[in-house]
Amino acid sequence: MGRFRDALGGQDLGAIAEVKRRSPSAGDLRPGADPAVLAEAFAGAGAAAVSILVDERFAGSIADLAAARAATDVPLLAKGFFSTEDELAELRHAGADAVLLLIRDLTDGRLLQLMRAADRLDMDALVEAHDGAELKRALDLGAAVIGVNARDLGTFDVDRAAALDLIAAAPGDRVIVAESGISARAQAGAAELAGADAVLVGSALMRASDPAEKLRELLARPLVKVCGLTREEDLAVAAEAGADLAGFILARETPRRAPAVLPVPDTMLSVAVYVGERGDATSDLVQLYARENGHRSREGVLLRGEDQVARVVDRAWQRDDPEHLDRARAAGGRVMLAGGLSPENVREAIEAVRPWAVDASSSLETAPGIKDHERVRAFVEAAR
């Protein structure tokens, strides 16, 4: 296992932060970007690796790779359009720990030769696929690190949903990187829940006034869910405040029942909440509780499709639950902490549990299903 692959193989979602002065699809992004300064800043902000565009079509060069190498010890990915062993050797000499290989541009035989050459040079190969056929080729050839690009390099269109399905279809013994179209925590979270080990982020960082701070924002946990939404105006406030997940309760026994799963902006994920029986509303995720004595159980699951992607640790129904945080702290895996959270106590709960997400509903209301906008904003701010 090379340095690059090893850096992406941790338990938490990793990030490959990209230095990219321009893009063929978006034009100039950050023409004066200094790869040494940015690589050092990205490493300090938590990047698992840094990607350097070395192709002139992106206003990049191999000198940029060498400058980044001199500035930081973080693993470096060289990105461009490569087809020969000599190019790989040049990249390795300039400091690359990994190289991007575009499966669409290479025959199986050539790709396999380049993967073997990278291995001889002590480099990892990030083999990039865009569709199911390309993913199958990458898997069949034994690629250990696979990038799933949501952007069609021919049309430049981004299809996040199709990319997430490809990520979910990949076997768990490969390192999977979600590429393109990620500019918000919820989008990174969606890739994580689909099974990505890391996200590659370029344009969103290059457009930000402070690229390193933008990277910190994308990686920040916990995600924040505002639940019990029933009105578009409340959803708009939650989105504007920076909430990542929008919860719509569709269980029959609650006064907070939503009329439907409302459309959410692409900076958020929608969550349909059910008790007992799962319905068929269209949503990004499902939060499902068992029904006990006519009410929901105090523990639930978060589902992506049919797959459980997190545990929901909630309080007992309408009564004190002094073991609530202890149970959450002891829970294994990814945890969404719910039940009794408010702007006043969420920070303390986060420090105690370190959950993947936090979830509040009734404490943010003026009446069941009607949100207090100032408390919604205060909850999101406190959870950050």
Closest CA to 40 of 79, 4, 70: 70
State the number of CA atoms in the 13 A half-sphere of 331 facing the CB: 24
Closest CA to 200 of 12, 3, 52: 52
Element counts in the chain: helices (H) and strands (E): 14, 20
| CB neighbour list of residue 92: distance below 8 Å, 6 or more residues apart | 121, 122, 123
Residue 239 CA, chain-centre distance (Å), reads: 17
Structure tokens at 285: 């995720």
Using left for φ > 0, alpha for ψ between -120 and 50, and beta otherwise, residue 305 falls in: left
Structure tokens at 51: 């990607």
Angle, CA of 261, 312 and 283, to the nearest 5°: 20
Angle, CA of 170, 24 and 194, to the nearest 5°: 20
| CB neighbour list of residue 360: distance below 8 Å, 6 or more residues apart | 225, 226, 227, 338, 341, 342, 346, 379
Q: How far is the C-alpha of 303 from the C-alpha of 287, rounded, in Å?
A: 6
Give the burial class of 154: count Cβ atoms within 10 A of its Cβ; 0-12 exposed, 13-18 middle, 19 or more buried. exposed
Buried b (16+ CB within 10 A) or exposed e, 228-242: bbbeeebbebbbebb
The catalytic residue positions are 18, 20, 79, 128, 149, 179-180
